[in-house]
Every structure is written in structure tokens, then in C-alpha cells.
A and B are shown apart, each in its own frame.
Chain A
């Protein structure tokens, strides 16, 4: 079998890593006028919040997690999962990436409308 050489592999890997980094920057900088936050638990929509209409901050309890809703941003305040990564993900204001609690299966996403190309699956 033909063995690939390092002369090919090293540039290839560096290129791939660079492309990924660029992609991350482009996605993060994507600021569109999306203001509705959707909260999913176990793949199902449980809450829908219009962030631009929020006057005072409040919290929503989703299973073992507590979601903090503020003017134009949303974040995870408390979580019953062991790693607490969802809290460290901080606030999101646009749809570039969601806040995800994997063990409790909670997803907070800011977007225009529900679903679109990705159908919500599961029960």
C-alpha cells in the first residue's frame, strides 16, 4: 500500500487546522438580527423568549438547569451536571453557537425560527 510521506502530511494538517480556525472566526463574527432565544430539553422546544423585549432579567428553570434571561443575551446560570461546562460557556447574543449542557441535554440557541433545515428529532 502506498505510504504517505511527512512532506505531504505536515502541510496538509497545517492547512486543515488553519481552515478550521478561519471558519471559527467567521462563524463567531456573524452578527445578524436574531433576537429570539429557543431553549430545548431532550431535543424538544420548551421555551421561546424574545430577547429584545426583555425588560428585567429573570430565570427559567429547565430540568436540573437554570437559564438566565437578560436584555439581548441569555446564558446558563446553574446546572446539575458535574462538569458545569454549560455555565462556563457564558452568554450568547447571536446564533453563531449555542449553549449546550450535554449531560442534562439542554440546548439554548438564538435564531430566527425553529428548525429550518435541521429538524428537531427525538422525544
Chain B
């Protein structure tokens, strides 16, 4: 009995570790992609695929720890002084919004939750920029980031949705 419980805990921890590694690698690799638009903060946000998938497949608590690990280690590996604050604010807003809205999305609609996450990620970064730069002409960037969030959020949301679907089929017999 105790063996089974310990084995389950170990599998849980191992799954979290694998997800965290994946998130970290994706984050670091993505930082090497040159920016496509000259607006600061527009990027693919692929690491959110892992966070979103973990939310459905592992649980909210595990997803939070994976997020924290990715933010801290990812910014240690790739970041400059400023990027850590932006990463934290974006990541936490994204997580909070995804957590609160998760009951409304399942199965075929998870892609929309990806958009929501991307939107709130950008919102968190805008708020951080407000405090750091003094809020000059934010509306233009807010709109550009909102549009970018729709596009990239759809892509990452679809990736997560597909992953969740197949993971559930393989490991949970759904």
C-alpha cells in the first residue's frame, strides 16, 4: 500500500520534472529566434504550451511550479536584467487568468484558453512597462500586442489542445 503511494508520488514528481524541462528548453530555444516585428514583447510564447498542458494533465499546483521553474531558470540562462521582471509579471497574469477560466474550456475549446493566456501575459508585461517606463502612448502597443496575442495564442492553444487530447487517450484511457 505504502509502496503504491510512494510510487505514485514518484511518478508525479517525474512527470512534473519532464514538463519543467520541456518548458525550459522551449523557452531558451525560443529566445534565439530573431524578432519578426519591431515591437518589444511580440514573440511566439511557446513555453505557454507546456503550462497550459500541465494545467489540464497534471493539475494547477504542478503547473504553477513548472511555471516558476521556467521563469527563474529560463531568465537565468537567457535573460538580461530587465527581462526577469517582465517574465514574472507576464507569467503570473497568464497563470492567474488560465486558472480562473479553466472550468469554462475543455476538449475542443482549449485553444481559446491559449489566447486568453497570451492576452493576459501581454497585459502583465504592459503593466510592468507602465511602472518602468512611465506609460507614454501605451494604447498603440496594447493593440499590437492584443492582435499578436490572438494569433500566437491560437497557435499555442492548438498545440496544447492536441497534446492534451493525445495524452488523455494514451495514459488515461479517455
Residues of A at the B interface (CB closer than 8 Å) are 1-6, 9, 13, 16-17, 20-21, 23-24, 27-28, 38, 40, 43-44, 81-83, 85, 88-90, 95-98, 100, 102-103, 105, 107, 109, 111, 118-122
Contact = CB atoms under 8 A, between A and B. Distances in A.
Contact of A102 (B129, B130, B139, B144): B129
10 contacts: A24-B140, A27-B143, A43-B132, A96-B140, A98-B137, A102-B133, A103-B82, A107-B134, A118-B136, A122-B132
Nearest to B102: A1
Nearest to B141: A97
B104 interface: yes
A81 to B, nearest CB: 8
Contacts of B136: 38, 40, 98, 107, 109, 111, 118
B105 interface: yes
Interface of B: 35, 38-41, 80-83, 86, 103-109, 112, 115, 129-141, 143-144, 146-147, 150-151, 154
A95 B137 contact: yes
A67 to B, nearest CB: 15
Contacts of B112: 4, 9, 13
A18 to B, nearest CB: 9
A2 B146 CA distance: 26
A98 B137 CA distance: 7
Given A20-B150, A85-B35, A4 B137 contact: no
A27 B108 CA distance: 35
Given A4-B104, A27-B143, 8 more contacts: A6-B108, A24-B140, A85-B38, A95-B137, A97-B141, A105-B133, A119-B135, A122-B131
A24 B147 CA distance: 9
A104 to B, nearest CB: 9
B137 A16 contact: no
B80 A82 contact: yes
A38 to B, nearest CB: 8
Contacts of A28: 140
A97 B86 CA distance: 20
A96 B134 contact: no
Contacts of B132: 43, 105, 122
Given A82-B80, A107-B136, A121 B131 contact: yes
A101 B165 CA distance: 41
A117 to B, nearest CB: 9
